[in-house]
Copies of this chain bind each other. A is one copy, B any other.
């Protein structure tokens, strides 16, 4: 496994691989790897000849009051996990290698980034989309792998790829969960044991909502009310940013639930000082 810190190293390696006609898979992460990330690596490993993993805690996707400094990091451990999972190249640049002094260019993917998490984290998706585009330009892979846990991020990236005519295939992989159902997230590390235990209420309420829809409930408001009440009743949930039922494609809110389109049930809540998100998609 080669560890790269410089953009020029990435370019040179990719050029050599492409000359040989090798298919390249890219797994962009913020590090502190867990089984969710590793499932992306495994998918890339199966579909591509060479796998690039990037580890970059992207400063531009954190707001000024957010947890950039608190975000868990452990590069040494990440390198071991990456090597065990047969990653070929790691790109783990310093922030200043990616965002040079005087950087001013940003990409906005439009309306789909203004709702849900975009309402509560203004500028977040601008930072995500810009950084992902930069990574795609630095490592012009054939396929890039993203988890469905960050569902809105996935939709924004797909929209950017489509609108900007990027020649890369976005592969989305299922959310990986703990035994109790909690979606794996590097941020889970920040939870106290009691918080961690109670955090499963997100998944429970998503499943509850899914069950209601599958049983024929057509009024999102009713489903939402049940979920919000249960979340509020849990003393470890500090705040509910949203619990929404939306069109899984354009993220528009649904007023009534008609099967025939994919339906997204998504939530973002605060467990203590840690913001967790999760979702379930019901396919038509």
Q: How many copies does the complex hold?
A: 2
CB closest chain-B residue, reference A19: B21
A107 — which chain B residues lie within 8 A by C-beta?
105-108, 164
Would A105 and B163 count as touching, CB distance under 8 A?
A: yes
- A73 lies within 8 A of chain B by Cβ: no
Interface residues on A, range: 20 to 34
A45 to B129, CA, bound (A): 35
Which of B134, B138, B160 contacts A105, CB < 8 Å?
A: B160
User: Of all chain B residues, which has the CB nearest A126?
Assistant: B108
Are B164 and A140 in contact (CB-based, < 8 A)?
A: no
**Which residues 141-171 of A sit at the B interface, judged by CB distance below 8 A?**
159-160, 162-167
Q: Give the distance to chain B from A24, nearest Cβ to Cβ, in Å.
A: 14
A135: nearest residue on chain B (CB-CB)? B165
In the complex the two chains form, is A140's CB within 8 Å of B167's CB?
A: yes
Interface presence of A117 (CB below 8 A): no
How far does the Cβ of A175 sit from chain B's closest Cβ, in whole Å? 25
Q: Chain B residues near A100: list those with CB within 8 A.
A: 162-163
Q: Which of A3-26 contact B (CB under 8 A)?
A: 7, 11
Contact mask for chain A residues 47-63; partner B; CB cutoff 8 A; 1 contact, 0 none: 00000000000000000
Q: CB < 8 Å: which of B112, B133, B167 contacts A164?
A: B133
The residues of A with any CB-CB pair to B shorter than 8 Å are 7, 11, 100, 103-112, 129-130, 133-134, 137-138, 140, 159-160, 162-167
Additional A-B contacts beyond A105-B160, A133-B164 (10; CB < 8 A): A103-B163, A104-B110, A105-B108, A105-B109, A105-B110, A107-B107, A107-B164, A108-B108, A134-B165, A137-B166
A-B contacts, 17 of them at CB < 8 A, read: A7-B165, A11-B167, A100-B163, A104-B112, A104-B163, A105-B110, A105-B160, A105-B164, A106-B108, A107-B107, A107-B108, A107-B164, A134-B164, A134-B165, A137-B164, A137-B165, A137-B166
Counting from the closest, the 9 A-B pairs by CB-CB distance are A104-B110, A105-B163, A137-B165, A105-B109, A134-B165, A138-B165, A105-B160, A107-B107, A103-B163
